[in-house]
C-alpha cells in the first residue's frame, strides 16, 4: 500500500516535467497596435438623438406574481394583527398572574375575611336561584356577590359607581 502511494507521488511531478508548455514573448509593436482608446469603447458612445423611453409591459409571470403578492399580503397582514393581539394579550395575562401571585403571597390582614364574605354571598345567590329561570341563575349570584363586595370595599364601590355613572 505504501509503495502505491509512493508511486503516485513520484509519477505526478515526473508527468509535469514532461508536459510541454509553450510561452511566447509578445513584441511591443504588436501590443501597441491593438490598443484602443477609452473614447473608442462602445460604453462611451453618445445615445442617438431620436431615442425615447418605452415602458415595458409586464408579462404573464410577472402579473401572476403581483396578484399572488397582493392576495397573500392581505392575509399576512391579518395574521400579523392577530399575532400582535395575542402577544399583548398573553403578556398582559402573564403580568396579571405575576401581580396576583405577589399580592396573594403577602395578603393584607383583612383580605381573607372579605373574600369569605363575597364568596358566601355569591353562593347564597347561587343556591337561591337554583330552581329559577336562566336569568335568575345568572343575576342572583352576580348581584349578591356584588352586594358582598360593596359591603367589604365601600370606597372602591363608590368610585366604580361614579365612573360607570349609575
Say what percent of the chain tops pLDDT 70.
75
Mean pLDDT of the chain: 82
Is residue 141 pLDDT above 80, yes or no? yes
Locate 10 and state its grid cell: 513520484
What does the pLDDT read at residue 131? 86
Predicted structure pTM score: 0.44
Most confident of the following: 14-18, 31-35, 101-105: 101-105
Domain borders along the chain are 62-106, 109-166
122's CB contacts (< 8 A; 6+ apart) are 141, 142, 144, 145, 148
Give dist(CA 9, CA 77) in Å, integer: 64
Per-residue pLDDT of 41-66, as tens digits, reads 777 566 667 777 778 888 899 999 99
Name the DSSP class of 164: T
CB 129 within 8 A of CB 136: yes
Give dist(CA 125, CA 151) in Å, integer: 15
Three-state SS for 105-137 is HCCCCCHHHHHHHHHHHHHHHHHHCCCCCHHHH
Amino acid at each position: 500500500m505504501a509503495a502505491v502511494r509512493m508511486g503516485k507521488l513520484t509519477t505526478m511531478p515526473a508527468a509535469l516535467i514532461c508536459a510541454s508548455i509553450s510561452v511566447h514573448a509578445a513584441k511591443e509593436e504588436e501590443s501597441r497596435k491593438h490598443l484602443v482608446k477609452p473614447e473608442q469603447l462602445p460604453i462611451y458612445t453618445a445615445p442617438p438623438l431620436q431615442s425615447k423611453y418605452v415602458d415595458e409591459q409586464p408579462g404573464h409571470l410577472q402579473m401572476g406574481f403581483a396578484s399572488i403578492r397582493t392576495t397573500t399580503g392581505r392575509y399576512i397582514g391579518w395574521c400579523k394583527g392577530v399575532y400582535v393581539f395575542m402577544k399583548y394579550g398573553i403578556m398582559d395575562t402573564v403580568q396579571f398572574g405575576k401581580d396576583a401571585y405577589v399580592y396573594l403571597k403577602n395578603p393584607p390582614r383583612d383580605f381573607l375575611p372579605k373574600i369569605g364574605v363575597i364568596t358566601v354571598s355569591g353562593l347564597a345567590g347561587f343556591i337561591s336561584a337554583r330552581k329559577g329561570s336562566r336569568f335568575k341563575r345568572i343575576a342572583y349570584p352576580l348581584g349578591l356577590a356584588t352586594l358582598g363586595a360593596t359591603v367589604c370595599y365601600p370606597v372602591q364601590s363608590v368610585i366604580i359607581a361614579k365612573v360607570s355613572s349609575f
